[in-house]
Chains A and B, each alone.
Chain A
Amino acid sequence: MASTATADAPVAAAPSGPAPAPVKQREGYLANASAHIFLAVWGLLVTIPLLWAVIQSFKTDDEIIHDPLGLPEQWLFGAFGRAWTKGNIGEFFLNTMIVLLGSVTLTMLFGAMAAYVLARYPFRGNRAIYWTFVAGLTLPIYLGILPLFLLVQDMSKWLGLEEVIGLNTHLGLILVYVAYSMPFTVFFLHAFFRTLPTTIAEAASVDGAGHVRLFFQVMMPMAKPGLISIGIFNVIGQWNQFLLPTVLMKDSDKKMLTQGLLELATNARYETDFARLFAGMTIAMLPILAVYLGFHRQVQSGLTGATLK
């Protein structure tokens, strides 16, 4: 911080009026330049490992092993195809899309329904239900993971629905994702529905709208900004989830993307196609990068805002 050297000058000058402009200006330039240097260094520390890993997917295995830092002699795209088919990334990708389509939709629907009722309809036990949901925020997922495995297995057998909501089924995983996303979704949307004005809802009900219509046609559209924030939060969270599928999805053709990739990475000792692994990673990163590019402001404020509520 080069500017500390000049720090005393303005203090002395202050009583006689505004600080002398040239000193201030120079201090400004120095502060700016040093700020950019420090920020750029951290920026490089963040991006270099990422870029390096992405570049590996365009190289031959020989280049990856013997020239890890160099750029590829020829930019090859073959590894992406091999990752998609032979590395099963395509299949994992499809599984993840199917599960997420169901789980995010249901999370938003159920989360909004519960949050709305708890936020706007006082009744006995309302607060107890709300706090039971919120209490789930403090407990990490891995705590219940061992009994959860037994429960998914036994309950589906008992109900005779092993093929529908048992282990290794998409719907089974969807329901688990939805359940574990409830605490934060309810918590977030509860706060949001409370801030919405009551006058519009009253006007709509005077016009004869029932409770259900009021919710879907008046309240949901009004809550759109909140729904978008929590929706992005859930997409990212569920896309990146790996503990739940690791325990619940053992069949190799039912695996999620993160789980499949993690297994590829941890078994990399036996792996001969390194470029394929890096290409798989790059493919897995692209959707998140796309969401982040499009919504980085909402992602940043949504994720950080949650900690202060």
Chain B
Amino acid sequence: MRNGRAPFIAGFLFAPILLYVVYVLIPYARTAYFSVTDFNGFSPEYGFVGLGNYLELLKDEVYLRAIGHNVVVLTVYPIVTILLALFFAFMLNVGGRGDKAGIRGVRGSSVYKFIFFFPQVLSIAIVAVIWRRVFQSNDGGMINSALMALGLVEEDKPLLFLAESDSVIPAIHLGDFTLDAPVVLICLIGVAIWGGVGFYLVLFSAAMQSIPKDIYEAATLDGASRVQTFFRVTLPLLREHVSVAWIYLGIAALDFYALVIGLTPGAGGGGPNNASEVMSSWMLTSAFRSSRYDGFAFACAMGMSIALLTMLLAGAQFRLTRSRDKLEF
């Protein structure tokens, strides 16, 4: 068994490491490298500009507005998704046979889980085809035509949804920085929630079912009702899962480009008038923007700033999952 050990290890690791280094690590490293140059993506001659691109980021109004949009997504998306997922997990597990204590699940709970989880496996292309039509801003759209049939919306004044750049909150301006929440962005968050709730429901529901029955029996013997049991027993035991979900959703919120590109108007998405632009989508659009000769390098600097934020969140997740006091059942 000893002989041939080293060649075996090297042989098995060679191809995976080669592919990973060439196609993943080198591009990431080159993003970092290009971010301090004025490389335009084509010309082999370029110079160093130091932190120039990073300083210019602070003057790019669209980028600063995109940060504001990320902040909105980062607040609304995780909170609503977690609350809905917890609520439905509670609904799935609180019911069931009244005579038995503990977590049993309502009849058909696996059918509900099957349906709720399904959007999670759909590609962004399918989600885009469906929701572009659901939100369509004339009488051919699903929501608009339904509201018109009910008489809630007038035929000549359809709701604009994805074409609406008005903010639902008063826009806040701080220097070049803008914080607003355009309707189109809220629609995107709605689609993200539609797709995400099932995932976290399954996550929380599995966690609830792994809580041992005797804890519930004890609670029932002490006379706790189902609702009390949920808030006093189940929810505290789920704290760790909720915080992991929180950070996971946070990373997904920073990485929102797929919905923006797939659903919103404008070349590369982000429209109308940059109302739905987030940092990642603006980065991809900026790379080949004709108004900047060094857009490529500028986009790389933008990417590095997003990477930094993502790694801060991931670091928080790592600390959280490492330092937790494991509750052994």
Q: Which of B113-159 contact A (CB under 8 A)?
A: 113-126, 128-134, 139-142, 145-146, 149
Interface string of A138-162 (1 = CB under 8 A from B): 1110111111101110010000000
Given contacts A116-B12, A121-B9, A175-B23, contact A3 B122 (CB under 8 A): no
User: Contact between B27 and A144 (Cβ–Cβ < 8 Å)?
Assistant: yes
Q: Which residues in B have their C-beta under 8 angstroms from that of A34?
A: 91
Interface residues of A (CB under 8 A from B): 1, 3-4, 6-7, 10-15, 19, 21, 24-25, 27-29, 31-32, 34-36, 38-39, 42-43, 45-47, 49-50, 52-53, 56, 64-66, 68-69, 110-111, 113-114, 116-118, 121, 123, 129, 132-133, 136, 138-140, 142-148, 150-152, 155, 175-176, 178-180, 182-183, 186, 205, 210-212, 215, 236, 239-240, 242-243, 257-259, 261-262, 264-266, 268, 277-278, 280-281, 284-285, 288-289, 291-292, 296, 299-301, 303-304, 307-308
The 4 closest A-B pairs by CB, nearest first: A28-B98, A14-B223, A144-B27, A240-B123
Q: Is the CB of A113 within 8 A of B13?
A: yes
Q: Which among B66-74, B167-175, B176-184, B303-311 touches the partner chain? A: B303-311
In the complex, what distance in Å separates the CA atom of A265 from the CA atom of B128? 7
- B227 near A262: Cβ-Cβ < 8 Å: no
Residue B88 lies at the interface, judged by CB distance under 8 Å to chain A: yes
Of the listed stretches B54-62, B75-83, B191-199, name the one at the interface; the rest are far from the partner chain: B191-199
Q: Are B95 and A32 in contact (CB under 8 A)?
A: yes
Given the complex of chains A and B, what is the CA–CA distance between A273 and B200 in angstroms?
Answer: 37
With known contacts A7-B227, A179-B20, A32–B118 Cβ distance under 8 A? no
Chain A residues with Cβ below 8 Å from B306 are 140, 143
Q: How large, as a class, is the contact surface on chain B?
A: 35 or more
A307 near B203 (CB under 8 angstroms)? yes
Instruction: Tell yes or no: B272 within 8 A of A by CB.
Output: no
* Residue of A with least CB distance to B143: A49
Contact residue among B88, B149, B245, B255 (Cβ-Cβ distance under 8 Å from A140): B255
- Contact between A239 and B123, CB atoms less than 8 A apart: yes
What are 28 residue pairs bridging A and B, where the CB atoms are less than 8 Å apart in the complex? A3-B226, A11-B225, A14-B222, A35-B106, A42-B197, A49-B134, A53-B134, A110-B16, A110-B19, A114-B12, A117-B8, A121-B5, A123-B9, A139-B311, A140-B307, A144-B31, A145-B27, A179-B23, A182-B20, A242-B124, A242-B125, A243-B258, A261-B123, A261-B126, A265-B129, A288-B122, A303-B199, A308-B203
Is B4 located at the chain interface by the 8 A CB criterion?
Answer: yes
Q: Give A39 to B118 CA distance when docked, in angstroms.
A: 15
Q: Which of B4, B22, B145, B310 contacts A139 (CB 8 A)?
A: B310
Least CB distance, B288 to chain A, in whole angstroms: 9
Among A19, A266, A288, chain B packs the most CB atoms within 10 A around the CB of: A266
Q: Is the CB of A36 within 8 A of B106?
A: yes
A31 → chain B closest CB, angstroms: 5
Given A38-B87, A53-B133, A32 and B145 touching (CB < 8 A)? no
Partner of A27, one of B23, B194, B225: B225
List the interface of chain B (C-beta within 8 A of A): 1, 4-6, 8-9, 12-13, 15-17, 19-20, 22-28, 30-31, 34, 41, 84, 87-88, 91-92, 94-99, 106-107, 112-126, 128-134, 139-142, 145-146, 149, 194, 197-199, 202-203, 206, 221-228, 241, 244-245, 248, 254-255, 257-258, 261-262, 280, 283-284, 287, 296, 299-300, 303, 306-307, 310-311, 314, 321
Q: Across the interface, which residues of B come within 8 angstroms of A29, CB to CB?
A: 98
Q: Are A292 and B311 in contact (CB under 8 A)?
A: no
Point out which of A52, A64, A110 has the most chain B C-beta atoms below 10 A from its C-beta: A110
Question: Per a CB cutoff under 8 Å, which of A142, A144, A258 touches B124?
Answer: A258
What residues on B are CB-neighbors of A123 within 8 Å? 6, 9
Cβ–Cβ contact B223 & A11, under 8 A: yes
Would A299 and B130 count as touching, CB distance under 8 A? Answer: no
* Contacts A53-B129, A113-B16, A146-B31 given; does A36 touch B24 at CB 8 Å: no
Give the interface centre of B9, B41, B130, B149 by most chain A CB atoms within 10 Å. Answer: B130
Nearest CB in chain A: distance from B150 CB, A: 11
A208 → B minimal CB distance (Å)? 9
Interchain nearest-CB distance for A23 vs B (Å): 10
Known: A46-B115, A68-B142, A240-B124. A265 touches B12 (CB 8 A): no
CB of A140 within 8 A of CB of B197, answer no
The answer on a CB contact under 8 Å between B24 and A144 is yes
Q: Of all chain A residues, which has the CB nearest B42?
A: A150
Cβ of B27 and Cβ of A147 under 8 Å apart? yes
Residues of chain B within 8 A of A277, CB atoms compared: 129
